[in-house]
Structure 1
Amino acid sequence: MAKTSLDSPPPGDSLSADPHDTDPALLRQHSHLKSYKTSRFEYPEIRVFYRQHVKADQLPKKPAPLPLLVCIPGLGGSVAQFYPLLRSLIDLAPCLAIDWPGGGRSKFAPTQWEAYTSEALMELLEVVIEDHRDKEHDQGVVLIAHSMGTALSAGLANKKLPHKTPLAKHIVGLVAICPVSGPMEEAKATMIKRLFWIPGWIFALWRAWDARGGLNSTSVSRFVGEGAPTELRLMQYRYNQQSRTPVWRRMAYGALPAQYQDGKPVGGIPGLDAWAGLDIPVFLIGGENDNVTSPKEIDRIVGAFHAMDDAVVSDGTEQAADASGPDSPESLNGSTQLDATSNGNRLIAEDADDTDYGESDVNSPSTPVEYPPDLPPQSQHPMRAVRSIVLTGSANHTLLYSPRTVRALAGLVSDFLAEHITQRLSLAWQLQHLSREGKWDVKNLIKWQGVKPVSEPIGPSGKPVFRVIKTLREVDDVHCPTALADNWGHVIKDVIDISKDQPVYDPRGLERRGIHYHKFPTVSKIPPDGDTVDLFIKLVDSVREAQRERAVAEGWADPEQCVVGVHCHYGYNRSGYFVVCYLVERCGFALADAIEAFKTARPNGIRHSHFLDKLYMRYNLEERAVES
């Protein structure tokens, strides 16, 4: 495959940075623009992404529905940066995210500098979250934030700080990615404030100078690091271009303390006191090579947690009063290091406790709730805790969306939610529960069981590219993620799921066993259009390129026999259509030979005549489609 220079986008991509044009389909389909009014300002046309869990109506609602997962970007950030992570989170729970006013797809209004102080933005967040939280059923909230958004989240979740809404008492967890511990020291803050005397147009000129070189500019490399793949550079280039100078200046200035009293900041973003005062599970995730937010910020936050615990424990009166309640000073603390390329398979805990979060403090100490044997508890007040992890290797400030780290990040966040908030946030549990209830399973189970799980290899002789499989089933003994990994993991190294809906299995069961999962949703019964085929081919190209690198890094025994697994529901029509297109366009097959190769590997082949007709229309208008 031809290589591209760092200054060029990948084939088929452009350097367009328009947030509307480049917004991924998932975000576009579930976003709307809405005006919000706080106690001081009105923010017109705030972009809000909200997606309800697809099976919300079939999952338990007592003592409350699944928590709402709220994604909060940092300075200059946007909802788009959360897209790679949201692709996993939407399968677990309802998800909400917003673009800051003037950021991403939101309108830049109002323009007063006071509307962009940390206090004003925190109130805006409260209003937006309360607008989407199921207040009638007492729904909880988990904040998942990046960079400066983590400090704002600490302020939102701290019940001791003043708030405009009751939201704080409903926040049950916080995931802080590349966390910021608080305002900078006084001398540095004073110097930074002086820089804001520089006119905005001069600052914009400096940004333009800094962005010279496009994907290989200093402004991009500052975030992504040296040797970053072109895909990540393109993403960072877009995010940088979408961050408007007037908005960035207002938010950055608003994050600075208004003044210092006896060396302590007054105003600005919440600091260590806000972090230390949290009484919920907190997960701190940093990148070893983060040049924007140092991983040492994690040490400061953890230190503040420990100092608060020590202070409370040393006060016997306060401890006796609070030890049995949700504000108990007891907490579960631990730090971890994880290689960013390990996908969560080499997690080494340095200071872990075996306490089971799922069994602790159910609902409240004085009002125990009885649950059916298979229904995990869902506490309204999870135990106070702090967990910290530093991703090593290439992990930096882009770990939220970098292809190299987002798999590991998604796995870590999912595990934290299931273990520390409620096991009901485990996708595996949800699938098993709904399958037992008959509410979520494969269509036409008997027919599905009669289909061969895995095809013969498909592709050039001796160098196959694909094996087509039928969709996996979490509760199946023969064709579940574990069974596929055990029986086929030595040759199937990636799985591309082209079904439209959420799968009836937990993809992390594949990821944990070293099989990478890729979601590429398409509609059944309808032959894919040309653009969709082009995107599929591009995806397979990138997967095969990554496989070549993994084969060396992981020491695959027979890399030439390792393939990409593809599945729709049964693995015939849609899967066959895409596979045939790839064989024609990338492997040099004639159309008829490609159709026959698929049919040989997957007996009966492509069954729908209109799929075959469409293939001939795409590749050979002069030939008549064969009958299936």
Structure 2
Amino acid sequence: MASSYDPERTDPALLARDSEIKSYETSSHVYPGLRVFFRRHQQADKLPTSPAPIPLLVFIHGLGGSVAQFHPLLSSITPIASCLAIDLPGCGRSAYANRAWPAYGTDELVELLEKIIEEHREKDEGQSVVLIGHSMGTSLAALLANPRLPPKTELGKHIVGLVAICPSAGPPTEKQVSLFRKLLYIPDVIFDLWRAWDRRGGTDSASVRRFVGPDADDEAKRLQDLYNNQSRSPVWRRMAWGLLPTYRNGDPHGGLPTRETWAGLDIPVFLVGGEDDNVTPATEVQKIAAYLQGTKVASDSDSNGAEVIPDSAAPVDTSIVTSGPVSKAGSVHIARSIDDIRDEDFARRPWPANADETVDDPTTPKSNNQQPLAIPALPAHPKKVVQSVILPKPATHALLYTPATTRILAGLISDFLVSNVTGRLDQAWQLQFLTQDGKWDVKNLEKWQKVAPVSEPIGGIFRALKTLREVDETHSPKEFVRNWGSTVKDIIDISHDNPVYDPKGLEEGGIRYHKFPTVSKVPPTDREIEGFIKLVDEIRADQKERAAREKWEDGFAVGVHCHYGFNRTGYFIVCYLVEREEYRVNEAIEHFAKQRPKGIKHEHFRARLCVRYDGAKVKVVNGE
């Protein structure tokens, strides 16, 4: 039964607004007071629902973690799909009401998740599910997708993808289990003293450094310290105990999923690791990839290189019960750079490569170039694909919520889902599909009129503009020349359509006009970026000569506009600042937003920029 939700101040607004406290009963346990975050896609009823709605994305946190750790990712992904996330019993905002140790067993948590997901999945419409887990949450996700016990519902048939962030390849050894059980016999009061010792120094404590690294920024340290302090010792002990298997005749039973569980997955799987992860090392990603492909790794021992119990906010340092050094698993894929797997025309192909067909219905909305907009296929069972990514140093076990890596992670996950599950999860495609009104109807004209015509100087090179209108009283070519002709010497029009103004009016006023058409709502391709940078280089060289010849004053600029001058305009300008002016990508994004308030508004544009530049050193291993 649902009740009102009263979050603490530390809860981000998105989570507070779309969360509620609910109670659930499984076949053997009652779980009162669970925090459930659910945000239905705001445009779900306007998007295609045949043969089914777009998939529900389900987020599962790790041991000692919470829904709050997914907040940066949820902020990026809620615009493209309905999203569900649960604070497991006693974690985050969920009550520690059921104190029975068996209630925290792995199979019991899987049944609980199964029940909650089924309550929110649009079952009657055949909605599918994509699971996104972190640390221990990846193990629960694997067991949901390939259960070892008879499922209680039909959920397993509708899981069409799995994203595993910082996963563990398998259960600890029999020796490790024995040692860890002895550790878990220690009373809570001793545990709490140990935790207090481990957390001396707050954000600079050993417990924080273990997860985010010694060189992490202040925000990452603050978040990790917050999550560590939210972790309850009694809950951690019960859940950790439930993750441990029972060995019979040398074989593990129960607890964390085994090699067989991973190998049995027959869906698209995306594995993400951090090069500096000391909790679940990047070698775990390689092992799981090998299991999924049926390939033998150099060391077949299960997870000897990982912490015994992978978590995201451990109350103690569990590495004391690991046995031996990190095991170096052999790579089963050919390592390639992220540029090698980037499809240059990815943004023009908003459907999976493995889709059987797309629907080109003349009655559907049209794209900006007035061609019928194809509806990507929605396979009921996408073919199995295995893709692995290792984010470079300083990516740690906290890469999920570390500011330096969250936007890259969001972009990589989005790319994987669009390419391998369904193109209907592509925000660019959704925006094009939903844009059915004319650009110059009354509503959009009023919106355009409220936008500032010209930005402040950007990087000492650019001014971002909204498109001019021939009939406008304040932003026509004639008025622009009068107000800005001494500053803006060239204009690059990147809108796809023919302009609604006569460029001749600019040319007669000494402002040169350049047409560089691109499609709205879609991040520019590599080829377009190269072409834009080349064009700006040529314009700047020409401006230098004109400035000397015509004795211009300093401060002349290149104007760039799409329709409003935010997303595509900002994207191209940021690319130029990074590639020619040595800005860091986040620095360039923030600078553009400061000079052109609101900045790049589409999250998928910002994520794509971070993948392009900060992801340049990402190690991608790809295979099917």
Shorter-chain TM band: 0.5 to 0.7
Q: Is the CA contact 1:49–1:96 (under 8 Å) kept in the aligned structure 2?
A: yes
Q: Show the counterpart of 1:182.
A: 170
1:381 partner amino acid: H
Establish whether residue 231 from structure 1 lines up as the match of residue 219 from structure 2: yes
Q: How far did 1:221 drift?
A: 0.5
Establish whether residue 415 from structure 1 lines up as the match of residue 415 from structure 2: yes
TM-score, reference length from structure 2: 0.67
Q: From the superposition, tell whether residues 266 and 347 of structure 1 become closer, same or farther in structure 2 (CA, over 3 Å).
A: same
2-side partners of 1:255 and 1:441: how far apart? 59
Q: Is the CA contact 1:431–1:505 (under 8 Å) kept in the aligned structure 2?
A: no
2-side partners of 1:249 and 1:406: how far apart? 29
2-side partners of 1:299 and 1:423: how far apart? 27
What aligned pairs does 1:446-595 form with structure 2 within 5 A after superposition?
446-448=445-447, 455-457=454-456, 480=520, 486=532, 514=574, 554=584, 564-567=594-597
Q: From the superposition, tell whether residues 50 and 553 of structure 1 become closer, same or farther in structure 2 (CA, over 3 Å).
A: same
2:157 partner amino acid: K
1-side partners of 2:84 and 2:495: how far apart? 27
Question: Which structure ranks higher in relative contact order (CA pairs < 8 Å, sequence separation ≥ 6)?
Answer: 2
Q: After superposition, what is the alpha-carbon deviation per residue over 1:535-559, rounded to whole angstroms, capped at 9, x for unaligned? A: xxxxxxxxxxxx99x9766599999
2-side partners of 1:510 and 1:249: how far apart? 49
Q: Show the counterpart of 2:267.
A: 280
Q: From the superposition, tell whether residues 199 and 506 of structure 1 become closer, same or farther in structure 2 (CA, over 3 Å).
A: farther
Q: Is the CA contact 2:351–2:377 (under 8 Å) kept in the aligned structure 1?
A: no
2-side partners of 1:185 and 1:238: how far apart? 32
Structure 1 residues not aligned, in runs of 5+: 1-17, 311-332, 339-345, 363-367, 492-502, 517-546, 572-628
What aligned pairs does 1:159-308 form with structure 2 within 5 A after superposition?
161-257=149-245, 259-307=246-294
Establish whether residue 358 from structure 1 lines up as the match of residue 352 from structure 2: yes
CA RMSD after TM alignment? 4.4
2-side partners of 1:150 and 1:378: how far apart? 24
Q: From the superposition, tell whether residues 443 and 26 of structure 1 become closer, same or farther in structure 2 (CA, over 3 Å).
A: farther
1-side partners of 2:572 and 2:279: how far apart? 30
Q: From the superposition, tell whether residues 190 and 559 of structure 1 become closer, same or farther in structure 2 (CA, over 3 Å).
A: closer
Q: Show the counterpart of 1:71.
A: 59
1-side partners of 2:518 and 2:195: how far apart? 57
1:445 partner amino acid: N
Q: Is the CA contact 2:456–2:595 (under 8 Å) kept in the aligned structure 1?
A: no
Q: How far did 1:261 drift?
A: 2.4
Q: Is the CA contact 2:355–2:379 (under 8 Å) kept in the aligned structure 1?
A: yes
Q: Show the counterpart of 2:375.
A: 375
Q: For residue 384 of structure 1, give the secondary structure of its aligned residue in structure 2.
A: coil
2:194 partner amino acid: W
TM-score, reference length from structure 1: 0.66
Q: Show the counterpart of 1:427.
A: 427
Q: For residue 594 of structure 2, give the secondary structure of its aligned residue in structure 1.
A: strand
Q: How far did 1:262 drift?
A: 3.1
1:296 partner amino acid: T
Q: From the superposition, tell whether residues 129 and 466 of structure 1 become closer, same or farther in structure 2 (CA, over 3 Å).
A: farther
Q: How far did 1:446 drift?
A: 3.2
Q: Is the CA contact 2:358–2:376 (under 8 Å) kept in the aligned structure 1?
A: no
2-side partners of 1:77 and 1:50: how far apart? 18
Q: How far did 1:444 drift?
A: 2.5
What aligned pairs does 1:78-117 form with structure 2 within 5 A after superposition?
78-117=66-105
Establish whether residue 24 from structure 1 lines up as the match of residue 2 from structure 2: no
Q: Is the CA contact 1:68–1:139 (under 8 Å) kept in the aligned structure 2?
A: yes
Q: From the superposition, tell whether residues 562 and 415 of structure 1 become closer, same or farther in structure 2 (CA, over 3 Å).
A: closer
2:234 partner amino acid: P
Q: From the superposition, tell whether residues 465 and 234 of structure 1 become closer, same or farther in structure 2 (CA, over 3 Å).
A: farther
Q: From the superposition, tell whether residues 77 and 513 of structure 1 become closer, same or farther in structure 2 (CA, over 3 Å).
A: farther
Q: How far did 1:181 drift?
A: 1.3
Q: Is the CA contact 2:570–2:600 (under 8 Å) kept in the aligned structure 1?
A: no
Q: For residue 174 of structure 1, give the secondary structure of its aligned residue in structure 2.
A: strand
Q: Is the CA contact 2:350–2:423 (under 8 Å) kept in the aligned structure 1?
A: no
Moved more, 113-122 or 193-202: 193-202
Q: How far did 1:566 drift?
A: 3.7
2-side partners of 1:30 and 1:556: how far apart? 28
1-side partners of 2:600 and 2:584: how far apart? 31
Q: Show the counterpart of 1:137.
A: 125
Q: From the superposition, tell whether residues 558 and 263 of structure 1 become closer, same or farther in structure 2 (CA, over 3 Å).
A: closer
What aligned pairs does 1:148-159 form with structure 2 within 5 A after superposition?
148-158=136-146
Aligned residues: 472
1:288 partner amino acid: E
Q: How far did 1:438 drift?
A: 3.5
1-side partners of 2:177 and 2:110: how far apart? 21
Establish whether residue 389 from structure 1 lines up as the match of residue 377 from structure 2: no
2-side partners of 1:570 and 1:419: how far apart? 24
Q: Show the counterpart of 2:45.
A: 57
Q: How far did 1:20 drift?
A: 2.1
Q: Show the counterpart of 1:122.
A: 110
2-side partners of 1:334 and 1:168: how far apart? 28
Q: Is the CA contact 2:56–2:128 (under 8 Å) kept in the aligned structure 1?
A: yes
Structure 2 residues not aligned, in runs of 5+: 1-5, 298-331, 362-372, 468-492, 498-516, 541-562, 602-624
1-side partners of 2:169 and 2:600: how far apart? 50
2-side partners of 1:302 and 1:279: how far apart? 13
1:184 partner amino acid: P
1-side partners of 2:64 and 2:143: how far apart? 19
Q: After superposition, what is the alpha-carbon deviation per residue over 1:544-593, rounded to whole angstroms, capped at 9, x for unaligned? A: xxx99x9766599999997734445999xxxxxxxxxxxxxxxxxxxxxx
Q: From the superposition, tell whether residues 513 and 242 of structure 1 become closer, same or farther in structure 2 (CA, over 3 Å).
A: farther
Q: After superposition, what is the alpha-carbon deviation per residue over 1:203-257, rounded to whole angstroms, capped at 9, x for unaligned? A: 1110011000011000000001011110110011001001111111111111000
1-side partners of 2:29 and 2:231: how far apart? 22
Q: For residue 58 of structure 2, give the secondary structure of its aligned residue in structure 1.
A: strand
Q: Is the CA contact 1:334–1:386 (under 8 Å) kept in the aligned structure 2?
A: no
What aligned pairs does 1:289-328 form with structure 2 within 5 A after superposition?
289-307=276-294
2-side partners of 1:77 and 1:232: how far apart? 15
Q: Is the CA contact 2:266–2:383 (under 8 Å) kept in the aligned structure 1?
A: yes
Moved more, 154-163 or 382-391: 154-163
Q: Is the CA contact 2:350–2:424 (under 8 Å) kept in the aligned structure 1?
A: no
2-side partners of 1:415 and 1:505: how far apart? 25
1-side partners of 2:58 and 2:461: how far apart? 39
Q: Show the counterpart of 2:559.
A: none
Q: How far did 1:384 drift?
A: 1.0
Q: How far did 1:123 drift?
A: 0.5
Q: From the superposition, tell whether residues 508 and 240 of structure 1 become closer, same or farther in structure 2 (CA, over 3 Å).
A: farther
1:31 partner amino acid: S
Q: From the superposition, tell whether residues 432 and 397 of structure 1 become closer, same or farther in structure 2 (CA, over 3 Å).
A: same
Q: Is the CA contact 1:69–1:141 (under 8 Å) kept in the aligned structure 2?
A: yes
2-side partners of 1:303 and 1:174: how far apart? 16
Q: Is the CA contact 1:51–1:95 (under 8 Å) kept in the aligned structure 2?
A: yes
Q: From the superposition, tell whether residues 260 and 357 of structure 1 become closer, same or farther in structure 2 (CA, over 3 Å).
A: farther
Q: For residue 45 of structure 1, give the secondary structure of its aligned residue in structure 2.
A: strand
Q: From the superposition, tell whether residues 464 and 246 of structure 1 become closer, same or farther in structure 2 (CA, over 3 Å).
A: farther
